[in-house]
Structure 1
Amino acid sequence: MTALSSATVHEAAGRIGALPSSIKPLHPAMHIAAPAFPVRTPPGDNLWLHRAVRAASPGEVLVVDTGEGFEHGYWGEILAEAAIARGLAGLVIHGGVRDSARLIELGWPVFAERICIQGTAKDPHGAGELGEPVVIGGRTVCLGDLVVADADGVVIVPASRAAEVQRLSALREQAEADYLRRIRAGEPTTDIYRLP
């Protein structure tokens, strides 16, 4: 699945699951194709992210709902190093991160709504959840859902459809490779797509 693009997966899945376009990779080469570990944290508090790094399984990607508390840097170098040590696959956060230059150097995939230096609290009584469904931009993300993210965006595919969508995505990429061959041979796109 790692070779498949977010746009291809989104189209193959029936144009579902696209997270807000404001969530972008810190570097365009960053890519994720992994199961989701949802996290809900109170706005302006990152204690649940520390808990998530400990609770998530290797190979999972943290998908974080910050309750639209965007103007905070929830994640930085320390948490990234901890996540790398745990073997986590990446971070998708509907909120801010900081230490962005260092995160890019580490090369570990980080997709965030913004970069922000504003610090966070660590309230032990703050209301959050690990592994329970979260809603980001109207899209529900459940434990084990497939997350595909790259320079174009982030798409979520329900776990029950992951194998089907992987197959449909591969077929779509094969078809598009043939379209490109025909275009390079001089055939117009209106003929290829049978457009009026």
Structure 2
Amino acid sequence: MTGTPPADLPREAAALPTATLHEAAGKIGALPSAVKPVRPGMRLAGPALPVLSPPGDNLWLHRAIYAAQPGDVLVVAFGEGSDPLEFGHWGEVMAVAALERGIAGLVIDGGVRDADQLATRGFPTFAPSVSIRGTAKDPEGTGAVGEPVRIGEVDVRRGDLVVGDGDGVVVLPAGLAGGVVRTAHERETAEQEIFARLAAGESTLDVYRLPGERSAS
């Protein structure tokens, strides 16, 4: 399903753990575990703007900054070629430009650089690697902005809800996102009740009705 989640949904989703959203969605949407915030404490949530780029080139990322709407999250995948982990496709200059445009953050299946500056600037950046190696800007390079991309086992379409925290990134189809967020709130409430039971002396074996250790016969 395609579309755009309601404007207030990213704010609600940002307050929920990505693991809870993933579970509430039926265990779908988790990007590869290597995609993590480049500095602790970064969080993002917003509708996806997918970007396809040649590895080792960032012209399509520059174009995406000016195709994005305020609140969008750029979600960048790469075509065939060199190893995208070995290039710094995004850095401080692009982050400043993105902040000026109101972009909510970047999720990229490749390398970035200027990690300290990205943190200082407050631009949420999720990537599997940090690399100082620069990129080309080939006007003939094959890419796209706004077309679906695939990262790991997840297809990302324009308007899908993207949420990132210290555990990683989850992508929720736009048509399902509202229901998933509601279910995630219910899971969080239930978890608070579990904490209360544990504090009262119950064990996790009791709470989850798990079999205990069998005694030797």
TM-score w.r.t. structure 1 length?
0.98
Q: Say whether residues 1:57 and 2:69 are aligned partners.
A: yes
In the other structure, the counterpart of 1:153 is 168
Give deviations 1:137-160, integer Å, cap 9, x for gaps: 121000000111100010111001
Rounded to whole Å, the distance in 2 between the matches of 1:116 and 1:108 is: 17
In the other structure, the counterpart of 1:108 is 123
> How far 1:32 sits from its partner (Å)?
1.1
Letter in 2 for 1:149: G
Rounded to whole Å, the distance in 2 between the matches of 1:3 and 1:79 is: 27
Letter in 2 for 1:2: A
Equivalent residues of 2:85, 2:130 under 8 A apart: no
* Aligned ranges 1:1-196 → 2 under 5 Å: 1-67=13-79, 69-196=84-211
| Matched residue SS, 1:176 | helix
CA-based RMSD of the aligned residues comes to 0.8
Rounded to whole Å, the distance in 2 between the matches of 1:177 and 1:31 is: 22
> How far 1:194 sits from its partner (Å)?
1.2
| Matched residue SS, 2:27 | coil
Q: Which runs of 5 or more residues in structure 2 are unaligned?
A: 1-12, 212-217
Q: Which runs of 5 or more residues in structure 1 are unaligned?
A: none
| Matched residue SS, 2:170 | strand
Rounded to whole Å, the distance in 2 between the matches of 1:193 and 1:186 is: 14
Q: How many residues align?
A: 196
Higher strand proportion: 1
> How far 1:180 sits from its partner (Å)?
0.8
Equivalent residues of 2:39, 2:115 under 8 A apart: no
Give deviations 1:3-46, integer Å, cap 9, x for gaps: 10100000000000110111110122111121100000011100
Rounded to whole Å, the distance in 2 between the matches of 1:179 and 1:47 is: 49
> How far 1:131 sits from its partner (Å)?
0.5
> How far 1:109 sits from its partner (Å)?
0.5
In the other structure, the counterpart of 2:8 is none
Rounded to whole Å, the distance in 1 between the matches of 2:22 and 2:66 is: 30
